[in-house]
Amino acid sequence: MSQISMNTHKASIPAAERASGPWRDAWKAFRRNKTAVVGLSIIIIFILIAILAPLLSTYDYKEQVLTDRLQAPSAEHWFGTDDLGRDIFTRTLYGARISLWVGFLSVIGSIILGTALGILAGFYGKWWDMLISRLFDILLAFPSILLAIAIVAILGPSLENALYAIAIVNVPTYGRLVRSKVLSLKTEEYITAARAIGVKNSRILIRHILPNSLTPIIVQGTLGIGTAIIEAAALGFLGMGAQPPEPEWGKMLSDSRQFIQTAPWTVFFPGLSIMLTVLGFNLLGDGLRDVLDPRMKPK
């Protein structure tokens, strides 16, 4: 009898209300946001390119054919060839793997470390807040690219060290964001009530503080991936990121800059790839901010 009553009650709830929920509503709003959809579509295309690179090209990105050097785009070489006769289309495809790998991993590292430090500073305060905030101030006192160059110069030029450097220089961005969010959350009534009934700080952080801090982290992280890709390309351009023969887009631009007038295709396609990828993450980040930030929603 009780089961029949539950089914009757469930049937009496409107279907639209049963289907409602914060994440479901956010997804519906996201799909209506054309900017976000375009950004996500661009990102998905480049992710598929990175995954399917071996199937999309029959050339080896390391293969050098000096007799075919600096050939213009053609049916044989869609994006032309570089000064060593390597197929630029193939190298651009494989370059997507490197740029996305660096972008995602560096941002994940920044978010993990920045979130941990931001929670310590915002929730516990006192000397934790003073020490961590001064650390953030010191890191932010340097231009990010110069600090990344200094870190790579100490560790040695390589793609992995460039990833570490990019992650480190972006930690204050997420740390200060989380700190400010935690400072506002810990004064909420439900946090005060949880403390009053003896809930441990660790449980408050995991069950209440962290989940309610995810929205700004997601938005900033999405935008941060585009920034990380640009920084990786800048380090590669300076010879401090990926090393030959790795087909990193910034390194490809650096190797071809002397041919910008005689063979412009050698710099056009890697540069276009950087621009489109960063554009995709920026559009997605702006769309997520519009969807997830309550202040951006129409009243």
CATH number at residue 216: 1.10.3720.10
Higher pLDDT, residue 17 or 251: 251
17 pLDDT more than 80: no
2 pLDDT more than 80: no
Closest CA to 34 of 42, 25, 24: 42
Examine residue 139 and state whether it is found in any structural domain, yes or no.
yes
Residue type, 67: T
Examine residue 259 and state whether it is found in any structural domain, yes or no.
no
Examine residue 17 and state whether it is found in any structural domain, yes or no.
no
Confidence of residue 1 (pLDDT cuts 50, 70, 90): very low
- What is the span of the domain harbouring residue 115? 50-61+89-250+271-296
Highest mean pLDDT among 28-42, 116-130, 193-207, 267-281: 267-281
Please, what is the angle between helix 88-119 and helix 265-292, to 10°? 30
Give the total number of structural domains in the chain: 1
Please, what is the angle between helix 265-292 and helix 34-56, to 10°? 140
Examine residue 28 and state whether it is found in any structural domain, yes or no.
no
pLDDT, position 107: 95
Output the CA–CA distances (angstroms, integers) from residue 35 to 47, 49, 268, 277, in the order listed: 19, 21, 25, 14
Is residue 72 within 8 Å of 265, Cβ to Cβ? yes
Confidence of residue 297 (pLDDT cuts 50, 70, 90): low
> What is the percent of the chain with per-residue pLDDT over 70, rounded to a whole number?
89
Neighbours of 8 (CB within 10 A): 9
Mean pLDDT over residues 277-292, rounded? 89
Compute the distance between CA of residue 112 and CA of residue 105 in angstroms, rounded to an integer. 11
Examine residue 10 and state whether it is found in any structural domain, yes or no.
no
Output the CA–CA distances (angstroms, integers) from residue 167 to 49, 62, 146, 265, in the order listed: 25, 28, 14, 32
Strand partners, 81: 87
pLDDT, position 272: 95
Q: Residue 258 carries which DSSP code?
A: G
18 pLDDT more than 60: no
283 pLDDT more than 90: yes
Is residue 169 within 8 Å of 144, Cβ to Cβ? yes
Residue type, 16: A
Output the CA–CA distances (angstroms, integers) from residue 285 to 183, 190, 290, in the order listed: 24, 30, 9
282 pLDDT more than 70: yes
Phi, psi of 281 (to 5 degrees): -70, -35
Q: 207: which 2 tokens?
A: 């069950």
Compute the distance between CA of residue 285 and CA of residue 219 in angstroms, rounded to an integer. 5
What global pTM score does this model have? Answer: 0.84
Examine residue 31 and state whether it is found in any structural domain, yes or no.
no
Q: Which of 9-23, 39-53, 67-81, 282-296 has the lowest mean pLDDT?
A: 9-23
pLDDT, position 242: 86
Examine residue 266 and state whether it is found in any structural domain, yes or no.
no
Compute the distance between CA of residue 255 and CA of residue 121 in angstroms, rounded to an integer. 44
Tens digit of each residue's pLDDT (9 = 90 or more) over 138-154 = 999 988 899 999 999 99
Reported as half-sphere exposure (CB side, CA atoms, 13 A), residue 150 has a value of: 9
Mean pLDDT over residues 50-63, rounded? 91
Tens digit of each residue's pLDDT (9 = 90 or more) over 129-186 = 899 999 999 999 988 899 999 999 999 999 999 999 999 999 999 999 999 988 888 8
Examine residue 287 and state whether it is found in any structural domain, yes or no.
yes
Q: Which of 28-32, 109-113, 130-134, 240-244 has the lowest mean pLDDT?
A: 28-32
Mean pLDDT over residues 196-206, rounded? 81
Residue type, 224: G
Compute the distance between CA of residue 194 and CA of residue 205 in angstroms, rounded to an integer. 11
Higher pLDDT, residue 224 or 298: 224
